[in-house]
Amino acid sequence: MANPLLTEARSKMEKSLENFHTELAGIRTGRASVGLLDSIEVDAYGQMMPLNQVGTVSAPEARMLMVTPWDKGQIGAIEKAIIASPLNLTPSNDGNIIRIPLPDLTEERRKELVKLTHKLAEDNRVSIRNIRRHAVDEAKKAQKDGDLPEDEAHRLTADVQKVTDEFVKKIDDFLKVKEAEIMEV
């Protein structure tokens, strides 16, 4: 039976990994990806809403994204949010849909994106290590309080380290795949 501390640590690490995967989806590669616009928030109905909650995002072509708003009255707000985003995209709308052509990535921009993915990977590795540290501290505290025998605490610490190594490797694997996607011409 798995220790509750180990189960909790694994659960938190999985959430951190999912977060990293979501962050990577928002980084542009050489082809259109609907995940690219996930970070954009639109001022709609008096509050900030994610773009995918005010319209449908699709990629009809390799170098084109298309946003079809559910409420045509929000088309201006959506276009303004895309322009204001740090993605440097230039949308155009015809009153019904917004088309976003994606220019080719320069070699310099590709290298910047690779640096960004490395930074995101390191941030998530730190997050996973913090989860490990918290679990190990809790195990030591339980041992000190007499709730956990010393050999069980050492076993738990070793198990938490194995899980940590597993998740750090998954982050590294995701990073390699994304880096290859960004650098392919």
Instruction: Indicate which CATH number applies to the domain containing 134.
Output: 1.10.132.20
The domain boundary, picked from 59, 84, 101, lies at 101
Instruction: Convert the pLDDT of each residue in 134-143 to its tens digit.
Output: 999 998 998 8
Taking the model in full, what pTM does it have?
Answer: 0.69
Instruction: Convert the pLDDT of each residue in 3-48 to its tens digit.
Output: 888 899 999 999 999 989 888 877 766 677 777 787 788 988 889 9
The domain boundary, picked from 81, 101, 121, lies at 101
Are residues 177 and 111 part of one domain?
Answer: yes
- Identify the pLDDT of residue 134: 95
Are residues 113 and 82 part of one domain?
Answer: no
Q: What is the CATH number of the domain that holds 73?
A: 3.30.1360.40
CB atoms closer than 10 angstroms to residue 150: 8
* Interatomic CA distance for residues 176 and 185, integer angstroms: 16
- How many structural domains does the chain have? 2
Are residues 96 and 111 part of one domain?
Answer: no
Are residues 62 and 153 part of one domain?
Answer: no
Instruction: Convert the pLDDT of each residue in 73-86 to its tens digit.
Output: 889 899 999 888 87
The domain boundary, picked from 62, 81, 101, lies at 101
Q: For the chain, list the strands marked E by DSSP.
A: 41-44, 47-50, 55-61, 64-69, 92-93, 98-101
- Which residues constitute the domain of residue 74? 34-101
Please determine, for residue 1, whether its predicted confidence score (pLDDT) is greater than 60: no
Q: Quick one: the chain helix, strand, coil %, rounded to 5?
A: 60, 15, 25
Are residues 96 and 38 part of one domain?
Answer: yes
Instruction: Convert the pLDDT of each residue in 44-71 to its tens digit.
Output: 888 998 888 899 988 888 788 899 999 8
Which residues sit opposite 58 in a β-bridge?
Answer: 66
